[in-house]
């Protein structure tokens, strides 16, 4: 009788607090717990040792905002609608991890480190506090929002966590941007990793996380908090001809680290089946004792963590619309199921690729045998791609802006005709590298060399948007001493806009040039178009 009374009067167990850390641009194979020697990541490695490590976790897209939208909603980009940085925001109808936890009594806060995930784009819903107080710097084309170092972001998060009452659970999301290019770690880490500054950035982030983990551990809270660490995407670092990310769908940018530790999580376990970052929301909600969000693409991984591998893994769906929306190249879609990976450029005539990841983990050779087995998958991909048509993904140009710009001669009345055979992104990456060199030459005021290089690049890819964009920049620089060059700059930016009226960099540049030419009406119209499409910062 007494035992029954004591049980009846017992306080219900409080759900765990949750700390979600997203590491921007972090490759799985660059952490010590994923096999990297001398990685300089002892604190993340220790977290993996006291929890679980997902060996084959895939993100949905190799670009920051779409990937984070998937992490925080548990849905793929085709469902949450965010396909690129800067031009899309998360629709208010899509529930998030923060909205569910907030409704369930959690105190919620987010601390982000870079512009692509500021509150403007809709990820702030459900958070009591959304700290995106980032430094600003001016550029010739508008205001560019900078990044915040890991130490500064984590100090804000640490102060908020310290103030949480013990009788109420909390959820904190911390976003750390340091590993993103350009790689410039603080002096101590720059000196140690002088030949690999990207690794230096990762080691610096790990050091900063160690200070947070030590602070939580001093009062045993670390062991009462469910800690999830996941990357939004990786970094190519030159593999497959891609220097950074967003253009291709190889594992260098799609396979990400995912660590999970805390109450109910067994120590030292490695999960080998394919999982997706969209599985994170249902997993965290499961451990919090809450039902998953409606309509999610992901599912809880608790059965895998508990050692039950009887349920077959769900395939990972991959995409990047960045090449299509930014460069006019083909978008890419992909799928990983078991050891088979298929990648396809639906708007290009380039054949699909298929890889046997068990034999070819670096995806060096497409195999026809695997491609034949994957034909039904390709058919499903084709159907899903049809739902992702340009009309539903390209941000619309404001009708009034379009009318004004047509009258001013910047848009043709016939509109833009969609290309039926767009280049595969891989074909254009050498041109992209050449354009990066052009920008370096412009910055160094070596304008004749920049112009000559543009001539060579145009011979390789006459329809490439970046050539006219950079010609405009060359002429703009020449306009400092030769005002007649400003007319040529305006014409070059106008050609970019004719090909892609949603190219906000070209609109910002055109607005500045027309202002310098004294054409106030044209400058105002271009500036309005630029503002409607968004700021210039986009990575």
- Beta-ladder partners of 280: none
Residue 424 has pLDDT above 90, yes or no: yes
Q: Which residues pair with 28 in a beta bridge?
A: none
What is the greatest pairwise CA distance in the chain? 96
Three-class DSSP category at 225: strand
Taking 90 as the threshold, does the pLDDT of residue 539 lie above it?
no
Both tokens assigned to 431: 């041109």
Q: Lowest-confidence range among 17-26, 247-256, 385-394, 427-436?
A: 385-394
Which helix (H) or strand (E) is 67 found in, with range? helix 64-73
Per-residue confidence band for 530, with pLDDT thresholds at 50, 70 and 90: confident
pLDDT at 371: 67
Which H/E stretch holds residue 273?
A: strand 269-276
Q: Would you say residue 237 has pLDDT above 90?
A: yes
Average predicted confidence (pLDDT) for the chain: 86
Answer whether residue 308 shows pLDDT above 70: yes
Sign for the CA dihedral angle at 56, 283, 235, 203 comes to: negative
Q: How confident is the model at residue 210 (pLDDT cuts 50, 70, 90)?
A: very high
Domains 12-26+35-272+287-312 and 396-533 share a fold: no
Q: Which CATH architecture has domain 12-26+35-272+287-312?
A: 3-Layer(aba) Sandwich (3.40)
Cβ count within 10 A of residue 13: 8
Q: What gap in Å lies between CA 55 and CA 283, rounded to an integer?
A: 16
Query: What is the pLDDT, as a whole number, of residue 186?
Result: 96
Class level of CATH domain 320-389: alpha beta
Q: How far apart are CA 180 and CA 26, in angstroms?
A: 8
Helices (H), 395-519: 399-407, 425-443, 447-460, 465-478, 485-499, 504-516
Rounded to whole angstroms, what are the CA distances from 82 to 65, 110, 200, 292, 490?
7, 19, 31, 21, 31
Give the per-residue pLDDT at 434: 93
Average pLDDT over residues 173-193: 96
List, for residues 342-358, the tens digit of each pLDDT value: 998 888 888 888 898 99
Q: What is the pLDDT of residues 211-235, one digit of tens each?
A: 999 988 877 777 789 999 999 999 9
For residue 398, name the pLDDT band (cuts at 50, 70, 90).
low
142 has a pLDDT exceeding 60: no
pLDDT above 70 covers a percentage of the chain that reads 85
- Of the chain, the percentage scoring pLDDT greater than 90 comes to 61
In three-state form (DSSP H/G/I as H, E/B as E, the rest C), the secondary structure along 159-198 is HHHHCCCCCCCEEEEEEECCCCCCCCCCHHHHHHCCCCHH
pLDDT classification of 378: cutoffs 50, 70, 90: low
For residue 8, pLDDT over 60 is answered with no
For CA atoms 55, 60, 63, 66, the dihedral sign is negative
- Cβ-Cβ contacts under 8 Å for 90 (sequence gap 6 or more): 69, 73, 80, 81, 82, 96, 121, 122, 123, 125
C-alpha torsion sign, points 266, 269, 270, 273 = negative
Instruction: Note the pLDDT of residue 5.
Output: 40
pLDDT at residue number 387: 39
How far is Cα 44 from Cα 110, in angstroms, rounded to an integer? 20
Please report where in the chains the tokens 């710097």 appear, as a residue.
Answer: 137
- For 269, the 3-state DSSP assignment is strand
Residue of higher predicted confidence among 351 and 289: 289
Which residues share a beta bridge with 19?
172, 227
pLDDT at 465 over 90: no
Mean pLDDT of 508-530: 90
Secondary structure (3-state) at 68? helix
Pairing of strands 170-176, 17-23: parallel
Model pLDDT, residue 23: 98
Max avg pLDDT among 78-82, 133-137, 279-283, 490-494: 279-283
CATH of 396-533, one of 1.10.287.610, 3.40.50.2020, 1.25.40.10, 3.40.50.720: 1.25.40.10
| Residues 17 and 263: beta-carbon distance below 8 Å | no
Give yes or no for residue 463 having a pLDDT over 90: no
Secondary structure class of 23 (helix, strand, coil) = strand
Q: What is the dihedral of CA 182, 21, 331, 461, to 10 degrees?
A: 0
All residues at 6 or more sequence positions from 452 whose CB lies less than 8 Å from its CB, including other chains:
none
* Max mean pLDDT range (325-329, 372-376, 395-399, 427-431): 427-431
What does the chain come to in residues? 539
The answer to whether the beta carbons of residues 175 and 115 sit under 8 Å apart is: no
Evaluate whether 161 touches 9 at the Cβ level (below 8 Å).
no
What's the pLDDT score for residue 394?
A: 44
Domain layout of the chain by residue ranges: 12-26+35-272+287-312, 320-389, 396-533
Describe the strand order of the beta sheet including 332-337 as a list of residue ranges: 316-320, 332-337, 340-344, 353-356
Closest CA to 179 of 154, 155, 206: 206
């Amino acid at each position: 009788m007494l035992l029954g009374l004591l049980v009846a009067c017992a306080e219900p167990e409080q759900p765990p607090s949750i700390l979600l850390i997203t590491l921007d641009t972090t490759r799985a194979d660059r952490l010590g717990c994923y096999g990297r020697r001398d990685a300089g990541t002892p604190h993340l490695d220790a977290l993996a040792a006291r929890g679980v490590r997902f060996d084959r976790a895939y993100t949905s897209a190799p670009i920051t905002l779409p990937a984070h939208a998937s992490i925080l909603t548990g849905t793929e980009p085709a469902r949450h609608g965010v396909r690129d940085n800067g031009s899309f925001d998360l629709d208010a109808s899509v529930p998030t991890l923060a909205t569910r936890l907030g409704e369930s009594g959690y105190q919620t806060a987010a601390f982000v480190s870079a512009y692509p995930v500021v509150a403007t784009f809709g990820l702030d819903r459900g958070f009591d506090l959304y700290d995106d107080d980032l430094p600003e710097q001016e550029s010739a084309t508008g205001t560019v929002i900078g990044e915040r170092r890991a130490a500064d972001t984590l100090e804000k998060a640490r102060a908020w966590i310290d103030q949480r009452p013990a009788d109420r659970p909390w959820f904190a999301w911390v976003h750390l941007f340091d590993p993103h290019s350009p790689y410039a770690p603080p002096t101590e880490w720059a000196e140690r990793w002088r030949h690999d500054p990207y690794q230096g950035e990762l080691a610096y982030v790990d050091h900063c996380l160690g200070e947070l983990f030590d602070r939580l551990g001093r009062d045993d809270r670390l062991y009462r908090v469910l800690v999830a660490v996941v990357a939004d995407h990786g970094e190519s670092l030159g593999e497959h001809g891609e220097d950074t990310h967003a253009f291709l769908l190889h594992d260098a940018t799609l396979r990400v680290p995912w660590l999970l530790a805390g109450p109910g999580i067994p120590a030292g376990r490695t999960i080998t089946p394919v999982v997706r970052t969209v599985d994170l929301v249902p997993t965290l909600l499961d451990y919090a004792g809450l039902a998953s969000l409606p309509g999610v693409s992901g599912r809880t991984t608790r059965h895998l963590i508990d050692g039950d591998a009887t349920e077959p893994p769900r395939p990972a769906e991959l995409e990047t619309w960045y090449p299509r929306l930014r460069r006019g190249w083909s978008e890419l879609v992909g799928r990983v199921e078991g050891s088979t990976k298929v990648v396809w450029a639906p708007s290009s005539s380039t054949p699909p690729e298929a890889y046997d990841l068990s034999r070819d983990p670096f995806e060096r050779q497409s195999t026809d045998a695997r491609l034949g087995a994957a034909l039904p998958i390709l058919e499903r991909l084709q159907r899903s791609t049809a739902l992702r048509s340009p009309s539903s993904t390209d941000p619309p140009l404001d009708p009034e802006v379009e009318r004004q710009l047509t009258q001013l001669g910047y848009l043709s009345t016939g509109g833009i005709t969609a290309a039926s055979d767009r280049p595969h992104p891989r074909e254009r990456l050498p041109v992209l590298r050449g354009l990066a060199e052009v920008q370096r030459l412009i910055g160094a005021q070596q304008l004749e060399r920049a112009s000559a290089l543009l001539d060579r690049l145009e011979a390789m890819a006459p329809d490439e948007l970046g050539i006219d964009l950079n010609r405009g920049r060359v002429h703009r620089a020449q306009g400092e001493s030769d005002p007649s060059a400003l007319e040529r700059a305006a014409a070059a930016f106008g050609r970019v806009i004719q090909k892609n009226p949603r190219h906000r960099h070209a609109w910002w540049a055109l607005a500045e040039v027309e202002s310098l030419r004294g054409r106030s009406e044209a400058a105002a119209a271009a500036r309005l178009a630029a503002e409607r499409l968004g700021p210039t910062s986009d990575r």
